[in-house]
Amino acid sequence: MDQVAAVIDAESTRPIARSNRNRSTLLAGAWLALLVGVLVGTAVARAPTLSPFDEGTHADYAYQVAHGHIPHAGSLGAVEISREEACHGVSVPTRTRLPPCGTPDPPVGENYNFGHPPLYYAITGVIARLADAAVPGGHFVTAARLVGIGWLWAGAMALFLAIRAFGVPARYATAGAALLPLVPGVLYASSTVTNDAAAAVSGGVALLVLARILVRGRAGWLVPAVATFGVTATKVLNALPLLVVAAVLSVLAVVAWRRDGDQIRARALLKVVLGIGAGFVLVYQGWALF
- 111-145: pLDDT as tens digits: 899 999 999 999 999 999 999 888 877 799 999 99
Helix (H/G/I), strand (E/B), else coil: 71? coil
Helix (H) or strand (E) holding 6: helix 2-46
pLDDT on residue 99: 80
Helix (H/G/I), strand (E/B), else coil: 76? strand
Query: In this structure, what are the phi and psi dihedrals at residue 116, rounded to the nearest 5 degrees?
Result: -75, 145
The closest alpha carbon to 184, from 57, 56, 39, 47, belongs to: 39
Contact call for residues 194 and 55 (beta carbons, < 8 A): yes
pLDDT score of 263 more than 50: yes
Alpha-carbon distance 116 to 114, whole Å?
Answer: 6
Alpha-carbon distance 204 to 245, whole Å?
Answer: 12
pLDDT on residue 6: 45
Question: Residue 20: which pLDDT band, with cuts at 50, 70 and 90?
Answer: confident
pLDDT score of 14 more than 70: no
pLDDT score of 1 more than 60: no
Neighbours of 147 (CB within 10 A): 22
Neighbours of 154 (CB within 10 A): 18
- Dihedral angle of Cα 150, 153, 154, 159, to the nearest 10 degrees: 170
pTM over 0.95: no
pLDDT on residue 125: 97
Alpha-carbon distance 234 to 260, whole Å?
Answer: 38
CA distances from 61 to 18, 26, 119 (A): 43, 34, 11
Question: Residue 4: which pLDDT band, with cuts at 50, 70 and 90?
Answer: very low
- Sign of the alpha-carbon torsion through 180, 183, 186, 191: positive
Span 11-26, average pLDDT: 71
Span 169-190, average pLDDT: 96
